[in-house]
Structure 1
Amino acid sequence: MVDGVDVFYRASLASPGAPVMTHLHGFGLSGRYLLPTAELLADEFLTYVPDLPGFGRSGRPRDVLDVPDLAHAAARFLDDRGVRSTTLVGNSMGCPVICEFAHRYPERLDRAVLVSPAGGIQNQPLRRAIGQLTKDGRREPAKMLSVATPDYLRFGVPSTVRLFRALTRYPTLERLLELSLPTLVVLGDRDPLLPGAERIREVAGQTDNHVLVVIIEGAAHAINFSHPGELAHAIRLFMRDEPIVDDPDSPGTASVYEIHRGTLHPQAKPKPDGGGAPGG
C-alpha cells in the first residue's frame, strides 16, 4: 500500500547486501516491458519493478498523479520495502520521474540511468506525441504490441490527457541539468520521440554533471524491451565504473560519448569493420 493505493510490483531475490536497483516505466505503461532488462541484472542487484499508482496492475488514486506525485510514490514504495537508497533505471516518462526523485530525495539516489528520456518540448502537443508513438510502434518488436496495448487500454484516454497536460508543465530540462550524480543516458538512433542531434548537443553543453551517453544503433524508444542485452551490458559496466563497450553477443551496436561542458566527446571511434569499438 502506497498512500492508500495498492501497488503491484515484481522483485528479484539477491544475496544479502546486494545494491538495490529500481526500474520505472513510461507513460501509460506498466513495468512489464522493463522485465527483459531487469531480469538480466537481477543476479547482481536486488531488483524492483513496480507499476506506479494508476498504471498497470496497481490501484488507481483518486486523481491522476503528476511527475512530482509519481516521484513521491516511488519513494513511498521504497519506504515500504525498507530501501534507503537505490539506483533508478527509467524509460521514457520514467526519466522525468527520476529527475524529480533526485531533486526531492538526493540522498536516496545512488546513480541514475535515463533510457530514452521523454516529456519535453519535442513531444508536445499531444497530437505530435501520438504521431511519434505511432511511428515508434512500427519500429518496435511485434511482441511489444501485445505488452503495451493492454496497458494503454487500462490507463485510458482521460488519464492520458490529464497526465500529458501535467507533463507539459513539468520543468524537465531544469531538473535534468540539476542532476549531480553519476548518470548514464541511453538513446536509440531510431527513436522518433527524441530531438535531433543538435538539440542533444545543446542540452549536453549546459550540464556540469558527469554524464555518459550511449547510443544504440538500431534501437527505437523501448530499448529495455527491444535491446535488453545491450542495455543491461552498458548498465552493468556503468555500475562498476568500467569503460562501456559494445556487447558483441547482443543486437545493436553501442557508441559511447562522454559529456564535457560544451560538447560531446566520443570515447572511441568505430572499428573499420563496423563493429563495436573498445569504448563504443
Structure 2
Amino acid sequence: MNDAIRKVVMPKWGLSMTSGKITEWIVAEGEEVSDGDDLAEIDTDKIAGTLESADAGVLRRVVADVNEDVPVGATIALIAPADVPDSEIEEAARLAREELESGAVEEAAGPVTGTVTVDGRSLAYATLGDGAEVVVLVHGYGGDKNSWLFVQEPLADGRTVHALDLPGHGESAKDVGDGSLDTLAGAVLGFLEQRGIERAHLVGHSLGGAVVTAAAVADPARVASLTLVAPAGVGPDVNAEYLRGFAEATSRRELKPHLGALFADPAQVTRQLADDLMKYKRLDGVDKALRTLLGTLLDGDAPALDVVPLLAKAELPVTVVWGSDDAVLPVSNARSLPDPDAVHVVEGAGHMVHMEKPNALVAVVSEKRR
C-alpha cells in the first residue's frame, strides 16, 4: 500500500475495550482534515467518545459503516493527499473491508499493565508510550485508571503516560490505611520512586487533584507541573448526597441515579458503566475503603479538604480545568483558587470532563508541556 495512505483504526480506549460502534461520521468523504480534527463519534461498552485524526490530508474513503460493530485495530477510514490515485484508494479500501469482514484483525496492543508495592500495598497501573517526558494520571473517588480511557492514548504521543489506581480502587490493594491525603499522596510518590521516575507531570481528577497537589508540596523536586481537573479541596461547595449515595449503594438500581450527577448529560451513564462499578463495590474491602475515604472528603455536608493553602505554596506551573455543568464540585469553587482567572472552563461538561470532553483536556495538557 502507498505510504501516503494513512489508516484510521478503531482505537483501544481502555483495557477492556474489544470493539466499538461508529454512531456518526463528523467528516464526510472528500473533506480535508488536520491532525487533531474530530473524525467520528464512537460508542463503546462504557461511554461514547470522539475520535480525532492523527494525520492531515483528505478523508478519501470511509470503510466502516455507521452502527457497524468494529473490532479494535480494524481500519475504519483512509486519509491520503488528494493526488493519490483513486485506484490505489479503492484497492486499500477493498483490503481493509476484507480484513474487517473476515474478522482477522490484529488488535491494538493497548496499555501495558503492572504493579508496584508501596508501603506494603500493591498499586496497579497502566502505561502507554515510551517518551522521555512522563505524565501520571490520578483518578477521583470511586474511579480507576480506566477513567482516563479517552485521554491516555493521545497524551502518549511522544510521552510516557501512566494511569494509576489509588489504594482502595481498581486493581490496587483495598487497604487505604487512615485514608488521609498524606497517605494517598505517599502512594503517588512511592509509585514514582518504584518506577524510577525522577520527574513527572501530574494530572489529577477530583480527589486525585487534591492528592497530586499534596504530592507536589511534599516532594516538589519530583513534580514538573500540576493539571487539576475539578479538584476536591477547592471552595466551599460539594455534592455530599452524591458522595454518600455512591458509597452506600448496594445495587445497580440504587447506584445509577447517583451516577447521573457525574455527567452533563445523564444519558452518558450506561448500564455497563453501572454494572462495572457495582462489581467493584462488591469486592472485599471496597466498602470499608470508600467509607474511610468519605471521611477524608466530607465534614458533615461540607468539604473536609482544603488544598488552597497547598496550592499557594506550590512553586510550579498549575493549570485547572473545570466543567461548566459540574454537579459534584461546582465550577463556582474555582473562585477560591489563588488565580481563579487561569481556570479553563469546558462548556457542556460535567464532573467527568476527561470522559465527556477529553479533547479539551488533552489540548490543555499538551499545550502546557510544549
Q: TM-score, normalised by structure 1?
A: 0.74
1:183 maps to 318
2:307 matches 1:172: yes
CA contact 1:32–1:147 (8 Å) conserved in 2: no
2:161 maps to 47
1:256 maps to none
Change (3 A) 1:150 1:177: farther
2:362 maps to 232
Change (3 A) 1:196 1:214: closer
Q: What amino acid does structure 1 have at the position aligned with 2:321?
A: V
How do residues 191-270 of structure 1 correspond to structure 2 at under 5 angstroms? 191-195=326-330, 197=332, 199-201=333-335, 203-204=336-337, 206-207=338-339, 212-240=342-370
CA contact 1:29–1:152 (8 Å) conserved in 2: no
CA distance in 2 between partners of 1:130 and 1:65 (Å): 16
Q: What amino acid does structure 1 have at the position aligned with 2:142?
A: G
Q: What amino acid does structure 2 have at the position aligned with 1:59?
A: A
Give 1:222 shift: 1.0
Give 1:13 shift: 2.9
Q: Structure 2: which 5+ residue stretches go unaligned?
A: 1-116, 247-257, 299-303
CA distance in 2 between partners of 1:19 and 1:48 (Å): 11
CA contact 2:139–2:145 (8 Å) conserved in 1: yes
- The CA RMSD measured in Å over matched residues stands at 2.6
1:10 maps to 126
2:11 maps to none
Give 1:112 shift: 0.4
2:272 matches 1:142: no
SS of 1:97's equivalent in the other structure is: helix
CA contact 1:54–1:64 (8 Å) conserved in 2: no
SS of 1:123's equivalent in the other structure is: coil
CA contact 2:259–2:269 (8 Å) conserved in 1: no
SS of 1:218's equivalent in the other structure is: coil
Deviation track 1:32-91 (CA, whole Å, cap 9, x = no partner) reads 111211111011211111112221111223735321101101111111110011000111
SS of 1:53's equivalent in the other structure is: coil
**Bigger fraction of residues in helix:** 1
How many matched pairs? Answer: 232
Q: % of aligned pairs identical?
A: 27
SS of 1:113's equivalent in the other structure is: strand
Change (3 A) 1:191 1:42: same
Change (3 A) 1:180 1:147: farther
Q: Choose from 216, 223, 228 the match for 1:109.
A: 223
1:66 maps to 180
Deviation track 1:103-127 (CA, whole Å, cap 9, x = no partner) reads 1011111010001112454127x43
Who wins on radius of gyration, i.e. which is larger? Answer: 2
Q: Structure 1: which 5+ residue stretches go unaligned?
A: 241-280
Ranked by relative contact order (alpha carbons within 8 Å, sequence separation 6 or more), the top structure is: 1
